[in-house]
A and B are shown apart, each in its own frame.
Chain A
Amino acid sequence: QVQLRESGPGLVKSSETLFLTCTVSGGSISISRYYWDWIRQPPGKGLEWIGSIHETGTTDYNPSLKSRVTISVDTSKNQFSLMLTSVAAADTAVYFCARHGGLPIWGQGTTVSVSA
């Protein structure tokens, strides 16, 4: 059974860069039908898609975040990562990694707070 788990710092200072990693277990990240995504949810708000990556390295980003986001994949570690630059208070959220293509699978999420 495929599982996804997010990891990274729970606290990031304003204007710095956030790095999160998603580790995929129970299955390979190198299956062509799947895309691997990052989604976030600010406190008390709805879901916002950040971007996705394919095992070939092809990426798509939310236009509203595109200038600050980079998603990368490391097939040797069965992981993919999110880098978000110049964070601000509005980036405080629960960050989820997910798989799409067929049955969606999500991680449990990791809370990221941005401090002044």
Chain B
Amino acid sequence: NFMLTQPHSVSESPGKAVTISCTRSSGNIASNYVQWYQQRPGSSPTNVIYEDNQRPSGVPDRFSGSLDSSSNSASLTISGLTTEDEADYYCQSYDSNNWVFGGGTRLTVL
């Protein structure tokens, strides 16, 4: 079993870029696909990145996903921040066929 660790919160100014990390505690981050979900207040989660770096249709190309084997982590980068990006972001991967979620990161755009 492994855990996914995210920073509790990040903040950045409009127009800037921010990167949210998701570190896997054991095993290779590249062993299983990583997904990222955005959850705005009062709404259900929506997928913004799947299979490490794939963007669903309708998600702006300001959102990108990557893996870093040196830190055994996945990252979500959002560029050109707007106030609409203010939300909670969750990473998710698989342990065998079991889902594992990170604890979530609160993004504040101010």
Interface of A toward B, CB cutoff 8 Å:
35, 37, 39, 46-49, 52, 60, 62, 94, 96, 100, 102-109
Q: Which residues of B contact A37 (CB under 8 A)?
A: 99
Contact partner of B98 (CB less than 8 A), chosen from A47, A60, A104, A105, is A60
Categorize the interface residue count of chain B: 20 to 34
Q: Does B45 contact A (CB under 8 A)?
A: yes
Whether the pair A49, B99 counts as a contact (CB closer than 8 A) is yes
Helix, strand, loop or mixed for chain A's interface? Answer: strand
Q: What's the least CB distance linking A1 to chain B, in Å?
A: 10
Q: Which residues of A contact B54 (CB under 8 A)?
A: 103
Interface of B toward A, CB cutoff 8 Å:
35, 37, 44-47, 50-51, 54, 56, 90, 92, 96-104
Contact partner of B96 (CB less than 8 A), chosen from A47, A60, A94, A100, is A60
Q: Which residues of B contact A46 (CB under 8 A)?
A: 90, 101-104
Q: Which residue of B lies closest to A58 (CB)?
A: B97
Q: Which residues of A contact B44 (CB under 8 A)?
A: 94, 96, 106-109
Could you tell me the distance between the alpha carbons of A35 and B68 in the complex, rounded to whole angstroms? Answer: 27
Q: Which residues of B contact A105 (CB under 8 A)?
A: 47
The listed residue with most A CB atoms (<10 A of its CB), out of B35, B99, B101, B104, is B99
Could you tell me the distance between the alpha carbons of A102 and B99 in the complex, rounded to whole angstroms? Answer: 14
Whether the pair B56, A103 counts as a contact (CB closer than 8 A) is yes
Contact partner of B101 (CB less than 8 A), chosen from A49, A60, A108, is A49
Whether the pair A103, B50 counts as a contact (CB closer than 8 A) is yes
